A and B are shown apart, each in its own frame.
Chain A
Amino acid sequence: MVDVTQTPVERGAIATLWTEANTIQKIAALIGLALVLLAVLAPLIAPFDPLKQSLIARLRPPVGFERHKPGFWLGTDELGRDVLSRSLYGLRLTLMLALLGASIGLLLGGTLGLVAGLRRGWTEDAIMGAVDLQIAVPFTLIALLILSIFGSTLPVMVAVLGIAGWEQYARIVRAEVRRITELPFIEAARASGGPPRYIALTHVLPNIVSPLVVQFTLALSNIVILESTLSFLGLGVQPPTATLGSMVGYGRDYMPTAPWMVIVPALMIILLTFSVQILGDWLRDRADVRLRSR
């Protein structure tokens, strides 16, 4: 039977992980690492202030094209700002938003899912009802309403991105809690008067780490895409602040005339979500293998 005390993801095994990985997974890991480095080092490596405008040097193409402006390797945008610097800072903000949003979702959804799984009764009904609600109403609309009620400031945006995925965590955690608490020995622990919180901590948490990590990686990329969709609708992070999503969203009108404004941030979005997804799937596969081998 399942050994519930064993932690599915072992710590300090990065070297083992690396040797077990296939080529695509290795590439993904390297891309992810590179992106994170670029984001962290953005203030050091960005050649220009990402907000600095130059109205006389708008829409200049990248190096190697006619009318290129030296120093602006990836060209300038519609206000003459450096596309490279904006992309780097955009990546940084996008990563921060995604991490914050996914963490809020994880905390909120995980807690509610845990409560729903342990408490049962009307508490569970209410929480799962809220999950159903969130699934039923298109999230773009929820976001739109929240942003127009509270204004689209950065904290509100983080909150919106956090709310975006909580229901997935809640479902996963609740299902897992229910599955585990129905196992005979937990029933026994419960019958002998063990407090629910104790049961939760000792038996449930270790088992849901793996699916939660997988969901977390999925949520990261979903949030990046959601933020870019909101920007497309003009509801994303406020200009002139750049995120990858807002660069693509506001830059799309320039696709036929100045595609460099869009291509670099779009590529970064794709690479970022791609690597995060591969890594998430890799984690899941490993967890699955472990489960199967038992």
Chain B
Amino acid sequence: MIAYILRTLIKMCVTLFVIITLVFFATRLSGSPMETFLGEGLTAEDRELMIAYFGLDQSIWQQYLGYLRGIVEGNYGLSFLERRPVADIVAERVGPSLQLLASSVLLTVAVAIPLGVLAALYRESWVGSAIMALAFVGYAVPNFVIATFMVLVFAFMWNLLPVVGNGSWAHFIMPTIAMSGVLIAALTRFTRNAMLDVLGQDFMRTARAKGLPETVVILKHGLRNAGVTVLSVLGLQIAGLAAAGNVVVESIFSWPGIGELLVQSAITRDYPVLQFGVIAVSLAVVVINALTDIAYAVADPRIRLAKA
């Protein structure tokens, strides 16, 4: 187990190093920050001045080595635009993103697992088909379509819900639903499939044979065993979709989150913010993935055995 964790850690570090390197060079290939920073209309001379001011007059290798040294020393640089430490800027944005992520995961689990179980139990009837059809629709609608539509109906027409920022619990309703659509759809399907796998297995038959009520059998034995698979899928989905998928939701609801920050800094070429933001997000994803792997292995001895 310790060897496994060590190996995972080393892999994580290598992945992060490669990401840092790729992002560093890709940002510099993608365009210059100069015009964005001073509005339009810089003379050639002005540009030289500003390039030196941002430290971009050094050779790219010097910049790269300097950046690596900074990371080791815990100095991630100043935003070109705001001239304050990028770590502060990113830290400000992580909280709201995590809040939204947490509420979305809660909603997803609360909705998708019962739906998935029902869909598995009533596999042959219209209930199962209807649930699955619903799940497919959830998967098919782009999140900004759900979001814009909700804004139109619940805020613009009916004036029920606020649309700007994260000030109160009411502010969470629409962004959470918009974020969760895809997650619910995916998790419902996986829960259903996992339950189907479990329902046919021996220990379920044993439990029924012991005369336990069907509900208990399903909830206690079925769900617990299916839960392992569901957990791992949920972890992957959160990591993948949450980090990438909320730029749009954040823009629509003026949510001060990390996704929007990353896209904005990529568009304005604020290299230091972009680099640190990507590192932070990928670190989170890599860690969540690793934890999911480990949890998976711990939770289900059969898998560990099978893997060995």
Contacts and interface: CB of A to CB of B under 8 A. Distances in A.
Does A touch B (CB under 8 Å) in the complex? Answer: yes
Contact of B11 (A132, A135, A144, A292): A132
B217 to A, nearest CB: 20
Interface in B199-215: 200
A261 interface: no
B278 A140 contact: no
Q: Sort chain B's interface into a size bin.
A: 35 or more
Interface of B: 11, 14-15, 18-19, 22-23, 26-27, 29-31, 129, 132-133, 136-137, 139-142, 144-145, 148-149, 152, 156, 189, 193, 200, 239-240, 243-244, 247-248, 259, 262-263, 266-267, 278, 281-282, 285-286, 289
A266 B266 contact: no
Contact of B247 (A23, A136, A140, A228): A140
Interface in A256-294: 256, 259, 262, 266, 269-274, 277-278, 281, 288, 292
A69 interface: no
A34 to B, nearest CB: 16
A137 interface: yes
Contact of A145 (B14, B15, B27, B248): B27
Nearest to B252: A252
A248 B149 CA distance: 12
A282 to B, nearest CB: 10
A129 B145 contact: no
Interface in A20-74: 22-24
A117 to B, nearest CB: 16
B4 to A, nearest CB: 15
A135 B193 CA distance: 24
Interface of A: 22-24, 129, 132-133, 135-141, 144-145, 148-149, 221, 225, 228-229, 232-233, 245, 248-249, 252, 255-256, 259, 262, 266, 269-274, 277-278, 281, 288, 292
A233 B263 contact: yes
Q: SS class of chain A's interface: helix, strand, loop or mixed? A: helix
B148 A137 contact: no
Contacts of A259: 152
Contact of A136 (B133, B266, B282): B282
B290 to A, nearest CB: 10
A252 B144 contact: yes
A23 B129 CA distance: 9
B263 A277 contact: no
B239 A144 contact: no
B200 A148 contact: no
B26 A136 contact: no
Contacts of B30: 145, 148-149
Nearest to A130: B18
A137 B30 CA distance: 17
Contact of B148 (A229, A252, A270): A252
A232 B259 CA distance: 14
A256 B152 CA distance: 7
B140 A274 contact: yes
Contacts of B263: 140-141, 144, 233
Contacts of B259: 138, 140
A143 to B, nearest CB: 10
Contact of B286 (A136, A248, A270, A281): A136
Contact of B139 (A221, A229, A248, A266): A221
A229 B266 contact: no
A141 B148 contact: no
Given A24-B133, A136-B285, A145-B266, A269 B248 contact: no
Contacts of B149: 255
Contact of B15 (A136, A256, A272, A288): A136
A148 B248 contact: no
Contacts of A288: 193
B11 A281 contact: no
A269 B137 CA distance: 11
Given A132-B15, A133-B15, A138 B133 contact: no
Contacts of B200: 292
B278 A277 contact: no
B144 A148 contact: no
A145 B129 contact: no
Contacts of A22: 129
Given A133-B18, A148-B266, A277-B140, A266 B243 contact: no
B100 to A, nearest CB: 15
A248 to B, nearest CB: 6
Nearest to A274: B140
Given A135-B239, A266-B142, 15 more contacts: A140-B244, A141-B266, A148-B30, A148-B266, A225-B140, A228-B144, A232-B142, A233-B248, A262-B148, A266-B141, A269-B140, A270-B145, A273-B139, A274-B137, A277-B136
